[in-house]
Amino acid sequence: MSAESASGGGSTEYIQHHLHHLQWQVGEGKFMAINIDSVLYGLALSGLFLFFFLRSARRATAGVPGKFQTVVEMVVGFVDSQVRETFHGRSKLIAPLSLTIFCLVFLMNFMDMLPVDWLPALWGKANEVAGHDPAHAYMRVVPTADLNVTFGLSLMVFLLIQVFGISHKGIGKFTAEAFTAPFHAEGTVMKILLAPANLLLRVIEELVRPLSLTLRLFGNMYAGELIFILIALMTWNAAASSGMTYVMAPLQFISGFVWTAFHILIITLQAFIFMMLTIVYLSMAAESH
């Protein structure tokens, strides 16, 4: 369904169509649904990241680098400098992990730069050719506009925080800190009295981290996707008014161009923030109170 031919529906139907996932219902009574489009695009972008970075690593030269190798070296150098300045412990995992997070989140965000009707229209045409109703051919192309994807990324970071904490401190010290920080006390009695409060604050702190990562990335990308959809509706809604299409078409082009230029900053900034918060949280987990 495109903004020009939305199967006779209204703007509300058009928006709902673009915000509906291609889903696979699991279990009887629709017990669970898997957003197939988010999974497929996530896997495709992960494969694209691995292909180009591995290809660049294997073809790297000591002399004058090519254009693509230069871009890769700039990204790697940028991430490495951020890790050196932020992470105070020692780990061979943190730099590759940070590079992977930044590039994957950026690539997922960058899907929002594609015209909002291109891939969904192709998917609808493919369903029409296959004999299915194109009005029910749903597809969303921005994985990070899916709450399940951002929560999955944040859950991975949460698990890594616990792994880093235990590996750097040991299970005994890691567990003890949950009962003795942030409120420190002298004497066994005071430590016992403050232990429940410390544990409660520790649990809240640990739960807030993945929640904030999830909602920040999802909220920004969902809003950006919705604004692109609303911009695409400008000329379609104007078609109902005689002569308004010619007035709205230039405005639609200008609005789309301005928002695209601004959104490039947003998608890059969101990838950077997600990476930096991951580094900070892992650094905090590796440090002793």
Q: How far is the C-alpha of 134 from the C-alpha of 125, rounded, in Å?
A: 7
Query: Which amino acid belongs to residue 54?
Result: L
pLDDT greater at residue 72 or residue 243:
72
CB 141 within 8 A of CB 225: no
Q: How far is the C-alpha of 161 from the C-alpha of 87, rounded, in Å?
A: 13
pTM attached to this predicted model: 0.89
Which sequence spans correspond to the domains of the chain? 11-286
Catalytic residue numbers read 212, 216, 220
Q: How far is the C-alpha of 115 from the C-alpha of 123, rounded, in Å?
A: 14
Contacts 24+ apart (CB under 8 A), 183-190: 184/289
pLDDT tens digit string along 200-233?
999 999 999 999 999 999 999 999 999 999 888 8
Q: Count CB-CB contacts under 10 A for residue 74.
A: 10
pLDDT tens digit string along 126-142?
998 988 888 888 999 99
Is it the case that residue 88 has pLDDT exceeding 60? yes
pLDDT tens digit string along 23-53?
988 876 667 889 999 999 999 999 999 999 8
Map residue 32 onto helix, strand or coil: strand
Our CA angle for 173, 179, 183, nearest 5°, is: 110
CB 116 within 8 A of CB 18: yes
